[in-house]
Structure 1
Amino acid sequence: MSLKLIYGLGGSGKTSRIYDEIREEMKRHPDRNMILLVPDQYTFRAEQKVLKELGQTSVFKVSVMSFGTMTRRILATVGGATHALISDTGKSMLMTKAMSDIKDHLKLFKAVAGKPGFIDMAKSLVDEMKRYDMDMEELRKTIEESEDQELMQKFQDILLFYDAFEKEVHKGYVDSTDEMHFSLERIHEADFLKNAEVFIDEFNDFSVMQLQFIEKLMENAKRVVLTLTLDQHHDRGDVFQITKDTERKIFEAAEMAGASIEKPLILPDETPLRFRSNPELAHLEAEYFHYPNRSYREKTRSVSIYKAQNSYDEVEKVALDIKRRIREDDSLRYRDLAILCRNIDAYANIIVSVFREHEIPVFLDKRRDIDGSPLSQYVLALVEVADQGFTYDALFTLLKTGLSHIGTEEVDLLENYILANGIKGGNFQKDWVYPYPNIHEEKLMEAYLQRTNEVRDKILSVYGPLRERIASAEHVEEITRILYEHLEDHGVLEKSVDIINDLGDEEIAKEHKEVVKGIISIFDDLVDVLGSEKMEIGIYGDILRQAMISYKIALIPLTLDQVILGDVARVKSDSIKGLYILGVNDGVFPKTISDEGIITDKDIAKLKEEGFDLFIDSKTRSIYEQFLVYTAFTIPREFLSLSYVGADMDGKSQRPSLVIARVKKLFPELMEETYINPMDKKSGDMTEVEGKVATFNELIKEMRRNYQGDPVNPLWGEVYDWFSQEEDFRDRLRRSREGLNYSNLSKNLTRESVKALYGDQLYLSVSRLERFTSCPFAYYIQYGLKAKDRVMHEVTAPDVGTLMHEVIDQFTEDIRGMQIAMSEVDKGFIREAVDKLVDQAIEKTNTIYKSSPRYKHMGEKVKRIINRSLETITAQISKGSFVPMFNELGFGKEGEALPALSIEIPETGEDALLRGRIDRIDVMEMDGKSYIRIIDYKSSAKDVSLKDVFYGLQLQLLVYLDVILRNWSSILSSQAVPGAVLYFRLDNPMIKGGINMTDEEIEQKVLESLKLKGLLLKDARVIRNMDRDIDEFSLVIPAKIKNEEVVSSSNRKDKNKEIILTEEEFDVLRDYVRESIGTILKELFDGNISITPYKDKDKIPCTYCTYKSICQFDGKIAENHYRNLKAMPIEELWENMKKKEVTDHGK
C-alpha cells in the first residue's frame, strides 16, 4: 500500500506518464486490476484513450471510473445500499417539498423559500455540506454558542431546511453522498480493490469525502498513483495554491492510511512536453504568472488576439479561421480544435447558428436545459390551468406552444377578445356577451361572438374535464398519471416530435427526443419519489417546475470529427492542436467572483472565528479562476487565439480582460487584429467563400456593394450564376435581389384612391390636420387604412383625458342649471360634486376603474386632479370679468350650434369641412363688443409656439377662434373680438416645500403652477378683466402690465412678440392658418403619403409613433430624410405669415 505522486506543469505530459505507468504495471503485475479514476465528464474520453494507448486487450484489465461509478461498484460487490439512489431531479423535487413544508418556520429566508433560484442555491448548499462531510452536530453547537444574532438566525434556517430535506430523502432513498458514506464503511470488503492499482488523473482538488475515499484506497489497494499540476519552483504567486493545498491534504490522508510514500516523479519544468516544438506557447506557460516576467521578442505566429465588434462578429471570425486552417492544413481535423468560453450560455446559440451556416460540425459539451422547450411549457401551463383556472398567462402559454388542438387564428381571435374585455379565468365558464372592439354592425358582432364562444367551448371540451379530474385527484401518482394520459390521448407528445422533425435538423430532432425522454423521466421520478404523497396541485406545480429547471440532458456527438465547444472549467484534452478562447472580457475571463449566495464571506469569516472552517470563500474561488486561466493556456499544442468584444449586443461598451494586456506585454510583436465593419472590407477578398450558406451570404454583401456602385471582383458574377441554377438557393437569390431594390418610399395615391379612402366630401378635425403635417404617412395609416392598436382592457392617457373633460363639462352644465356662477362655488361643493360625477361616469362608460386596486386608486387620483383643476378654474374666473358662456361647443355636425369651417382646396374646385369641439368659451362684454377667451384643456403642459403654427403643427386654438369670429351671430348678441386663446393644464401639482407653507401660500403656488398659457390681446383693459389683481405679476395669465402696456411675464426677450398680439395680428394668424390648411388639404387631396416626419432639433414624431414597424423609416438611409423645421427669429415668422408664405408640410 503506497502512494506515488506525479508532478508537472500544464502540458508536461502527466497524463501520458499515467498511461506509461499503467502499461508498465500491467506487464509487471498481470494479475492486478488497473483502475483509472477521473472526473465524471472525462470518463468517455478516458475510455477512448485507454483503447488507443493500451490496445484492445486493455478493456479487460483497465477500468475507467469516476468516484460515483467506483462507489456503486463497491456497493454492488459487497452490498450495503439498502435504498435506491435518488436522481438530481428527485432531489430538487424533495427540496421544493421540504421548503413548502417548513416555509412558515423560516425567519430570514421565508420570503424567498419558494423561488426556483433559492431552491437551487439551497440544494447546492446541502450538497456542499454533505460533500465536505460537515459535522452537523458541531455546526449546531457552534451556532447555538454564537453571539452573532444574524449568523444564528441564518444558520437556524439553513439547518431547518437541511434537516427537512434529509428527512424527505431518507424516507426511501439515498443520494450519491450517502452512497459514498456506505461504500467507505464497506470498502475494505471489496476484493477487486485489494489487488488493484489506482491511477488518479485530471483532478486539481478534492472534496472532504473524496479525500476520505482516497485515504481508504491507500489503505486497501496495492498502490495509488496521482497526478498534480504544480510548479516546483514556487515562483508563480497563488496560481497553484489550489493544488498545493491538495498536495498537503493528500499527504495527510496517506499518513492516516499508513501508506508508504514512493519517490515522486517530477516532470521537467523547463519546457513542458506539449510545447517543445512551439516556443511561443512555452513562453506563455512559463511567463504568464511569473513575476517578474520576460517578453518574447520574436515575431508571434502561434498566439493571436482579436477585438470583435460584438459576439456575432467574434464567432464569425472564429468560423472563418477554422475553415481557413482546415483548408490549408491537410493533417488538421475539426476534432483537433476546441472553443472555450467562461460564459458559454451567452455564446452557445450564436456558435451553433454561425457554424451551421459555415458547415462546421461542432459539439456543445454542456448539459442542456429542458424547461424552455415548448413541451415543457405546455406541461407546466397545463398544471397552472388546473390550479389557477383559465388565467391569461397560463392559457396562452399553453395555446401558443402549438401543441394544443386550437389553431393559430383561433388563438389570435380569442386573445384579442380577452385582452379587449379584461376577461379573467373565472369568467371563462360562461358564454361571453361583451362587445367586440371596433365592430359596430350588429350582425357582424353576433358572428364574431358566436365564433369566439365556439373557440372557448372547444378549449373547455378538452381542458375542462382535465381540470375536474385533477381536482379530484389526491395523490402525486394520480395527478401525474392524468397528465401523462392527457399527453398521450391528445397526441401532444407525437405532435411535438412532428413539429421538430419538420424543421429538418437532425441535431435539434435528437435534442427534442431527449427532452421528451426527460419529461417522462421527471414523471417517473415524481411517482417514485412522491407518488403516495397527498398534495395540492399548486405545490405539485412548484415541484414540477423546479424539476424541469434542474433536469439537464446530455447529448452524444453525432460524429467524432467535431469542434469541441465547452466551458473553460470543463474541457481538458491533450489532443487539442488549436484553441479559441472567446469572451476574454473584463469580469468574464477570468470570471469575477461575487460574494453572493446563502452563505457570504462575512458568514464564513465569523464561523472561522468560532473554529468552524469548512466553507469556501470567494477569495479561494478567485484563485481557482486564475488557475483556470493557466489550465486553458496549456491546452493547445499548436496555436492559441484570444478574442474579446468591444460592445455587447445592445451596443454597450465592454472592456477587455487584464489577460489581454498581459499577453500583449509578453508578446510585444503581437499585433491585435480588429474588424470594425464587414461591409468595409475590400472587394475581391474571397476569404469568406467557405460553404454554400456562408458563400451565399457573402454574395449578398457583394451584390449590395455593386448596387451602391462600389467595385466588385468579377469572380462574384460566376458565383451569382452558380447560385441562380441551384434549386435550394434560386428563390432566396431572387428575393435578395428584389430586396436590394426595395425602397420604403411611398408613391402618391391617385385621386380615386383618396376619395375611396376618405370619401367624396372631406370631413376632418384639426387634430387630423396636425397629424398630417407631423407625418403624411402616419396620417395615411391611421385615417386612411384605419390601422388600430390591439384593444386592451386598460385605462390609457386618452381615456383619462376624456373622463376629465366629461366631468368638467357636466359640472359646468350642472351649476349653470342651478344658476350658480363658477366664481361662487366653494371647495366643499366642488369636492362633493366631483366625487358624484366621477362615480357616475365610471359606472356609465368605463367600469374598468373598478376592476383592480390599481385602477381604483387611479380613479381616486383622477378625482383629486379634477378637484384641484376646478378649484383653480373657479379661482381664475373669480379674479376677472370673463364668464364661461359655452362648454364643449361643437361645430360641423348636424344639430350642433355652429356650422363646419369650410376650406377651399386650391386648384381642385373642391372644399373640405372642419369639425370639432371647443372645451370652453369665456366672454366679457365691453364697449358693445364680446371679447372671446377660448380655453382648451390639456392633461400635460402645453404652450402656443408661433413656429409650430407656421409649420402647421399647432392649428387648433386659432381654428377655434376663426370659427367663433366667423359665426358669432349664431351664439352671441354683439360683435366678437379675440381676447385670448389659451391652454389650461388639468393637474394636481406637487408643491415643493409645501409641508412648511400655509394654506394660502400653497394655494398661490398651485395657481402659479396652473397658470393659463397661450396668446393674449394687447389691450390692458381686456387683460385687467382677466385678472383684476394684475400688475407686475399675474396668477391667471402669462402676462403683466407695465406702464399700462401688456407685456409677457416670460424672461425670454422675444416672447412678448410671440404671445402679446394686436387684433390685427390675430387676424394675420387666422388668415395664415386658413391658407396653411388649404395647402395641407391640397397635399392630402393629391395623395401625399410620403414618409417625411418633421424634425425640430431633437424632437421628432417617430418617438411615440405606433407605426414605426410599418414605415421602417431610418434617418441613416440616404433616401429617408426628416423634414427639418428651420429655426427663425420671431420677426421673420411674422413677416412670412403676413405674406402667407406657407411651407410645404409633407415634403
Structure 2
Amino acid sequence: MSITMYYGRAGSGKTRAVYERIRQVITECPGDPIILLVPEPATYRVERELAEFMPQGGFTTVRVVGFGRLAYQVYQSIGNVKAQQQSISQLGRTMLLSLVMKRKGAELGLLSQAAKRPEFSSVLQGLFSEFRSFRIGPDELESGAQRVSNGVLQKKLRELALCMSAYEEELQLHGQIDGDPIMDLVHALPQSPLMENCHVFVDGFHWFTPVHFELLYMLFDLAVESVITVDLLADPKRILANKGRHGIFNRSVEILENLHKEYGTKLSFQSFTGHRGTPVLQSLEENFFHGKHNTTAEHIPLVSAYNREREADWVARDILSYIESSPNARYRDICIMLRESETYGDTLEKVFTRYGIPHFGDRQRPMNNHPLGELMTDLLGVVKHSYSRDIMFRLLKTDLTPLTREAVDELENYVLEFGIDHLQWERDNWSYMRRVAELSDEEQPDALRNARVNASRQAIMDILIPWFDFATSSDAHTGAEWCKHIYRVLEELQVPQRLYEWSLEAERDGDLESKASHEQMYSAVIGFLDEMMVLTDTETLTLDEMIALLEEALDNVHYSMIPPSLDHVAITTIERAYSQSWPRVYVMGLNQGVFPQNMGDEGLIKDREREALAEAGIVLAEGALPKAFNENFLLYLAMTRAEQHLTISYAGSNDEGEGLESSLVIKRLQSLGFCTSPIEVPFTIQDGTEDEYLWRPYQSLSLLSERWGALFSGVSVSPLWWGLYNWARHDGAYRPRLEDVSRGIRDNNDVPVIAPELVTGLFLKRGYMSGSVTRLEKYRQCPFKFYAQYGLKLEPRKVRSFGAPEIGTFLHANLERLGTQLLSEHKQWRDLDETAQQELCARVAADILEENRYDEDEKTAYDKAIEERVVRTLQKTVSRLVDWSSRSSFDTMYLEQDFGRPNGWDSIKVSLGEDCYLRLVGQIDRIDEYNRDGHTYGMVIDYKSGSTSVNAQEIYYGLKLQLMTYLLALESAYQKHHDQPMTPAAVVYTYVKNPRTPAGEPVSYEEAKALADTNGALNNKGYFTDDIDMLEKMDKNLLTYKSKGPYVPVRITGKGTIHSGDMKIVKSSGDFDIMCRYTESIMADTGSAIGKGEFPIAPYQLNKAIPCSYCDYKTVCRFDNERNQYNYLSTLNEANALEKMRDALNGSSGQTEANADFGESSNTDSSMTGGDDNGR
C-alpha cells in the first residue's frame, strides 16, 4: 500500500500528473482496476479529458466516478443493486420526517412553532444529514445536551434527539437504516471485487466530512496504490500559515492533517510548482490573495455593465469575437463561472440563444411550476375550497384536462357572467339566463352556448365529482387511499399520454429542456405516489396535511439535463466546477453580496451553539461565519480556473432596475494593479460602436427596432443600419424577420375611411340609421370608440357584479314598477304615506331581486348586504319623489315612455340627404305635465344614479344630447296627439342614490337627515323655464328657501326676479327651441359623418375632461400622445354656447361650427343598427 499526496497551488499540474500516472498504471499493470474519484459534477468532463489524454483516445479499466456512482458500481459488483434501488429516496425521507413531526409535534416545546412550518421537514432533514456526516446520532445529542451549559441549547439538543430517534425508528419499520450512505459504502467496499489490485486516485476535492474521510481511509487501505491531490502552497514552511478559518487554504490544511494523523510516515508527498496561463494569471494566483501587487505589465479585463442583461450581452459578443478571431478556438474551451446559477442562469440562456451560441447550464431547474405540479396542487385545492372558481380555472388551464383552451375560455366567460362558484359546479345542468336584462344588453345567452358550456362542464365534473366525494367523505384518509384516488384522476385525465405527446412534440421541435421536464416530472410524481403508498399505508392524513406534504414534495423536485453536444459554452457555478479548468473563463456577477456571497441565516443551530458543541466534543460543519471566510477560497478557485484568459465583470443594476454595488474584490483588484478602469457597457448602443453588435442575422435585425426609435426621436441613423435593412429586405430568408422588427416604422393606429359598401352593411341595411342618442354622443366623444363598440361589436367580458351600473339598473326597474302601479290606480307619488312607501318599496324590491337572481336556491351574505343597501337607496329616493310631488302642481303622466318602438311614440327622424335619414329611438324615464289656461307645460325627468349634469357647451359640441332629444320626442308626440304645441317647463336629471354625507362631528339621525337634505348632493340638475309662476308650480316652497331648493335649484330675489347666479340654468321658450333645433342639426352632422365612414382616434378634451379615463377600448386604439391628438374643444360659457347655436342655425345649411371644431377627420360613428340601448 502506497499513499501519495500531490500538493501545489491551483494550476500547478497536479491533475495532469494524475492523468500521467494513470497512463503509466495502464501500461505497467494492464487489467488492474483504476478508480478516479472526482466531484460528481466533473465526472463527464474529466472522463472526456482523460480519454483524449490517452494515446489510444480512450480507456477500459478506469472508472471515473463521484461518490454516488462509486456506490452504485460497488453494489453492482457485489450483487446488491436491487436492494440499493429499493431504498427510500431523499424525497421519501423528507415526507417520512414530516409524518414524524406530525406525531411528535405535541411533545416539542422550543421547536414546536418551527415544526408547524411547511419547510421545516426539509430543514430538519438537512440537519440530520449533517449529523450523520459527522457520526452524530440521538445518543450523541443526548450526551451533548448534558455537557453544554446553555439551557436553550440543551433543550434544543434534546428535542432534536427525540425527533431523530423517532425518525430512525420509523425508517427501521420500513426496512431502512438511516445510516449515512457513505458509511454504508464503507462497509460494502471490502466485499467488492473492484478493490482487488485497485489503484485509487482522488482529485479535485478541497474538503471532506468525517464520513468522507472514513471512505478515503477504507479506499486507501484496500488499494495497492493511492494518490490524492490537494490545493496547498508548494512551500512546506508556508502551509501552516494557512491554518485557521481566516486562511485561504484552511480546508486543505485540514485534509493534510487528517491524512497525516491516520497514516503518519506511510503518507508520501510530491509538490508541484508549475504554472499555467499567462504571466498575469500566474501573478494573480501567487500574489493577489496575499495582498501583493501585480508583478507584470498585463492586466485582466474588467467589465462594468449597465445591468445583468447588458453584462451577458457583452460576454456573448466577446465569445463570438474570440471564436472568429482564433482558428482553433472551440466553444467547449469557454466557461461562464458564477457564484450561484439563479441570478444569471435565465439571462445567459436567453442572450446566448439570441446570439446562436451553443451553451449548457448544469443547474437543476425547479419543477413546481410544471403543469403537472399545478394540476396536483389544484386537485387538492378544489376540495379545500369547494370548487373555487379561481382554482378550477387554474386546473383547467394546465391543458391536462379533456377541454381545449377555446372551450375553457368559453366556460370561463360563462362562469364569470353568471357568477357561478363553489358547489354550483356540481349542478346537473346550467341554464342561466338573464331574466331582467341590463339596459345595454343586446342579446341573451342562447341555447347553443348553454349546450356547449354544459358539455364542457360535464367532461371535467365527471372526473372531479367522484374525487371530491371521496376527499370530503371523511375528515381524514389513509395515505394509500389518497394516492389511489389521485392516480385514478391522473389516469382518467390521460395525463401520462398527454405528457408523452408533449415530450415527443418537444423533441421534434428540438426543445430538449421541455422534453426532460415532462419526462422527469411524471417520474417524480409517480415516485412520490409510490413512496407515499408505502410510507403512509395506514397513516391517516387530513386534507391540510396532504396539501402540506405535496407542496413540500414539489418544492424539492427538480429536473436536470445532459449536455446536448460536446462543443458548447459551459455555464456553471464555482461550487460545481472548482475541480475543472478551461482555456477561457468569464467570472460574472462580482457584485456586493453576490460574489462573494452573503451567508444569510445561520440555520437551526447558530454559530455560537456550534462552537459550544465543539467544546463539548460534538463537531459539526462550519457555521455561517466560517463559510463567509471560505468565500475567499471559492473566489481563489474561480480566479484560477482559467488556463489562458480570464475576464471579470459586474453589473450596475438588477433586473428590476435597482442599483448594485461592485464587490470589494473589484476595488482590491484595481488597487493591486491587476485591473485598470473597467470597460463600460451602456444600456444603449453608442455611436461608432454599431459594428461590435452585429454578429448573427436574426440577432442583428432585432437591434433595428431600437434604431428606428432613435430615428423617430430626430437622431440620425448610421449607414450601417440602413445597409442591414436593405440587405434583409432583398433576402427572402430574413425579410419576414425584418418586417417584424420594422413594424415600429410602419405601425400606426390610423383608422382608414371605411368603404361605402361596408358602411352600408354595418349601419344602413334598411336604408336608414337607427339607434339611440347615446350612440351619437359616444361618436362625438370619440369616433373610434363608437366604431369599436357598435361597428366592430367589441365588448368587455361580462362579469357578474352589483356595482353602480347594476344598482342604477335595479333602481330604474323599481321606480318604473312603482310608478306604473301608482298610475294604474290613478295616483301620484304624493298620495303615498310613509307606511305605504316602506311596504311598497320592500315588496317591489324583493320581487325584482328574486327575478334578477341567477341562482334561486342560494342567497349569499353578499346578496343580503346588497339587497339591504339598494332597498335603503330606493326608500330614500321614493321619499324624495313623494316629497317633491307633494310640493308640485305637476302630475306624472308617462313612465318609461318609448319612442321609435312598438306601442310607443313615433321615432325622431333626422334627414341626412339623398333619401337617407337617422331614426332615433329611446325611452324617457318620466314625463310630468301641468295645464294652465288650456295650455300644457311639460317636464322631462331622467333618473340618474351617477353625478351627471348638462350645460350648453356640451350640447353645442354634441357631448350631451339626451335631454334635448327627449324634449324633441315629447314635443313631436304632443303636437301629433293634441294638435297643439307643448311648452317646455324643464328638462332635469333627478338622482336615485343615497350618498354619504360628511359631518365634522357626531350628529343625531335627525341632524344627519337635515345635513343630507341641505348639502345639495341630490339637487335636481338641468334646465328650467324662466317663467317664475311655472317654477312655483314645480315647487310651491320655492320662495321660502334661503338657498337653492332641492327640486328647482333656482333662487328668487326679494324683488321677485331670478337670481343672477342662476340665470345660466333658466331658459326661455325660445332658448329651448334653439337647443332642440340645434340638437337636430348636430345629430344630422354626426349621422352624415358616420355615413362617410370616418372613425378616427380623436377623443375630445374639454378643459381637463377626456373620455379615455374609463374607456374599455384603450388597448384597441393604443392612443399615443406622440402620434395621436385629442380633439381640443374650447371652453364656452352658457351665453356664448347658446349664441353659437343660434349662429349655426341661422348660418349655412352645411357643416356646423361645432362640427368644424370637432375636426375634419372626425369619424362619425354609425353603428346605429347594432341594437338599442334604451337611450340611457
Q: Where does residue 1167 of structure 2 map in the other structure?
A: none
CA distance in 2, matches of 1:583, 1:987: 60
Q: Does the residue aligned with 1:890 lie in a helix, a strand or coil? A: strand
* Structure 1 alignment gaps of length 5 or more: 1049-1054
CA distance in 2, matches of 1:226, 1:1029: 107
Of 712, 723, 735, which aligns to 2:731? 723
CA distance in 1, matches of 2:1090, 2:242: 77
Matches of residues 45-194 of structure 1 in structure 2 within 5 Å?
A: 45-51=45-51, 64-68=64-68, 84-95=86-97, 120=122, 123-124=125-126, 127=129, 136=138, 166=168, 168-172=170-174, 174=176, 178-180=180-182, 182=184
Matches of residues 321-360 of structure 1 in structure 2 within 5 Å?
A: 321-340=318-337, 344-345=341-342, 348-349=345-346, 351-360=348-357
CA distance in 2, matches of 1:19, 1:194: 21
CA distance in 1, matches of 2:612, 2:1044: 67
Deviations 1:138-173 (A, max 9, x none): 868999999999999999998887677555544325
C-alpha deviation, 1:1073, in angstroms: 4.5
Deviations 1:461-519 (A, max 9, x none): 78889999999996467557746765879843543334334435456445544455555
Q: Is the 8 A contact 1:219 1:258 kept in 2?
A: no
CA distance in 2, matches of 1:503, 1:137: 56
Q: Is the 8 A contact 1:336 1:578 kept in 2?
A: yes
Q: Does the residue aligned with 1:499 lie in a helix, a strand or coil? A: helix
Q: Is the 8 A contact 2:7 2:230 kept in 1?
A: yes
C-alpha deviation, 1:775, in angstroms: 2.5
Q: Does the residue aligned with 1:1078 lie in a helix, a strand or coil? A: helix
> CA distance change for structure 1 residues 1080 and 59 in 2, over 3 Å: closer, same or farther?
same
C-alpha deviation, 1:772, in angstroms: 1.8
Q: Where does residue 363 of structure 2 map in the other structure?
A: 366
CA distance in 2, matches of 1:60, 1:493: 38
CA distance in 1, matches of 2:966, 2:124: 68
> CA distance change for structure 1 residues 1125 and 721 in 2, over 3 Å: closer, same or farther?
closer
Deviations 1:568-621 (A, max 9, x none): 543436433334455666765555565598889999999999999969776666
> CA distance change for structure 1 residues 108 and 227 in 2, over 3 Å: closer, same or farther?
same
Matches of residues 491-640 of structure 1 in structure 2 within 5 Å?
A: 491-505=497-511, 508-509=514-515, 512-515=518-521, 517-519=523-525, 521-522=527-528, 524-526=530-532, 529=535, 543=549, 546-567=552-573, 569-572=575-578, 574-580=580-586, 595=601, 631-636=637-642, 637-640=644-647
C-alpha deviation, 1:564, in angstroms: 1.2
Of 1038, 1042, 1047, which aligns to 1:1031? 1042
Q: Where does residue 1171 of structure 2 map in the other structure?
A: none
CA distance in 2, matches of 1:160, 1:769: 79
> CA distance change for structure 1 residues 1098 and 162 in 2, over 3 Å: closer, same or farther?
farther
Q: Does 1:673 align with 2:680?
A: yes
Q: Where does residue 772 of structure 1 map in the other structure?
A: 779
Deviations 1:990-1049 (A, max 9, x none): 75766x44334444554538443745669799598677775368888989889889779x
Q: Where does residue 748 of structure 1 map in the other structure?
A: 753
Matches of residues 141-290 of structure 1 in structure 2 within 5 Å?
A: 166=168, 168-172=170-174, 174=176, 178-180=180-182, 182=184, 202-203=204-205, 210=212, 225=228, 227=230, 241=246, 246=251, 273-274=275-276, 276-278=278-280
Q: Is the 8 A contact 1:775 1:1092 kept in 2?
A: yes
Q: Where does residue 306 of structure 2 map in the other structure?
A: 307
Q: Where does residue 42 of structure 2 map in the other structure?
A: 42
Of 864, 870, 887, which aligns to 1:863? 870
> CA distance change for structure 1 residues 582 and 258 in 2, over 3 Å: closer, same or farther?
closer
Q: Does the residue aligned with 2:1158 lie in a helix, a strand or coil? A: coil
TM value normalised by structure 2: 0.75
Deviations 1:1097-1120 (A, max 9, x none): 87654454433444444444x4x4
After alignment, is 299-308 or 379-388 more displaced? 379-388
Instruction: Give the percent of matched residue pairs that are identical in Structure 1 and Structure 2.
Output: 22
CA distance in 2, matches of 1:1061, 1:604: 91
C-alpha deviation, 1:800, in angstroms: 3.3
Of 1070, 1092, 1099, which aligns to 1:1093? 1099
CA distance in 1, matches of 2:1132, 2:885: 39
Q: Does the residue aligned with 2:173 lie in a helix, a strand or coil? A: coil
CA distance in 1, matches of 2:609, 2:928: 72
> CA distance change for structure 1 residues 475 and 607 in 2, over 3 Å: closer, same or farther?
same
> CA distance change for structure 1 residues 849 and 30 in 2, over 3 Å: closer, same or farther?
same
> CA distance change for structure 1 residues 43 and 988 in 2, over 3 Å: closer, same or farther?
farther
Of 904, 920, 925, which aligns to 1:914? 920
Q: Is the 8 A contact 2:590 2:666 kept in 1?
A: no
CA distance in 2, matches of 1:579, 1:821: 91
Of 781, 784, 797, which aligns to 2:788? 781
CA distance in 2, matches of 1:436, 1:156: 66
The code of the aligned residue for 1:557 comes to P
After alignment, is 796-805 or 190-199 more displaced? 190-199
The code of the aligned residue for 1:430 comes to D
C-alpha deviation, 1:327, in angstroms: 0.9
Q: Is the 8 A contact 2:38 2:202 kept in 1?
A: yes
CA distance in 2, matches of 1:276, 1:767: 80
Q: Does the residue aligned with 1:565 lie in a helix, a strand or coil? A: strand
Q: Is the 8 A contact 1:3 1:223 kept in 2?
A: yes
> CA distance change for structure 1 residues 925 and 494 in 2, over 3 Å: closer, same or farther?
same
Q: Does the residue aligned with 1:278 lie in a helix, a strand or coil? A: helix
CA distance in 2, matches of 1:400, 1:643: 40
Q: Is the 8 A contact 2:891 2:928 kept in 1?
A: yes
> CA distance change for structure 1 residues 432 and 485 in 2, over 3 Å: closer, same or farther?
closer
Q: Is the 8 A contact 2:928 2:939 kept in 1?
A: yes
Pick the structure with greater CA Rg: 2
> CA distance change for structure 1 residues 576 and 132 in 2, over 3 Å: closer, same or farther?
same
Deviations 1:726-785 (A, max 9, x none): 5xx676678888996565422222444333223433233233223223332222221123
Count of paired positions: 1121
CA distance in 2, matches of 1:177, 1:1032: 91
CA distance in 1, matches of 2:879, 2:608: 58
The code of the aligned residue for 1:355 comes to F
The code of the aligned residue for 2:330 comes to R
The code of the aligned residue for 1:1078 comes to A
CA distance in 2, matches of 1:925, 1:149: 98
Q: Is the 8 A contact 2:91 2:528 kept in 1?
A: yes
CA distance in 1, matches of 2:781, 2:241: 67
CA distance in 1, matches of 2:1052, 2:619: 82
Q: Where does residue 938 of structure 1 map in the other structure?
A: 945
Q: Where does residue 1174 of structure 2 map in the other structure?
A: none
> CA distance change for structure 1 residues 135 and 575 in 2, over 3 Å: closer, same or farther?
closer
Of 791, 812, 816, which aligns to 1:805? 812
C-alpha deviation, 1:246, in angstroms: 4.0
Q: Where does residue 757 of structure 1 map in the other structure?
A: 762
Q: Does the residue aligned with 2:1085 lie in a helix, a strand or coil? A: helix
Q: Where does residue 1127 of structure 2 map in the other structure?
A: 1123
C-alpha deviation, 1:561, in angstroms: 0.9
The root-mean-square deviation of aligned C-alpha atoms, in Å, is 6.3
Q: Is the 8 A contact 1:889 1:920 kept in 2?
A: yes
> CA distance change for structure 1 residues 732 and 492 in 2, over 3 Å: closer, same or farther?
same
Deviations 1:663-713 (A, max 9, x none): 8965885354334446x8679x55555445435656888999999996745
The code of the aligned residue for 1:90 comes to G
TM value normalised by structure 1: 0.77
Q: Does the residue aligned with 1:305 lie in a helix, a strand or coil? A: strand
Of 296, 320, 327, which aligns to 2:317? 320
CA distance in 2, matches of 1:914, 1:747: 27
> CA distance change for structure 1 residues 138 and 802 in 2, over 3 Å: closer, same or farther?
farther
Q: Is the 8 A contact 1:834 1:866 kept in 2?
A: no
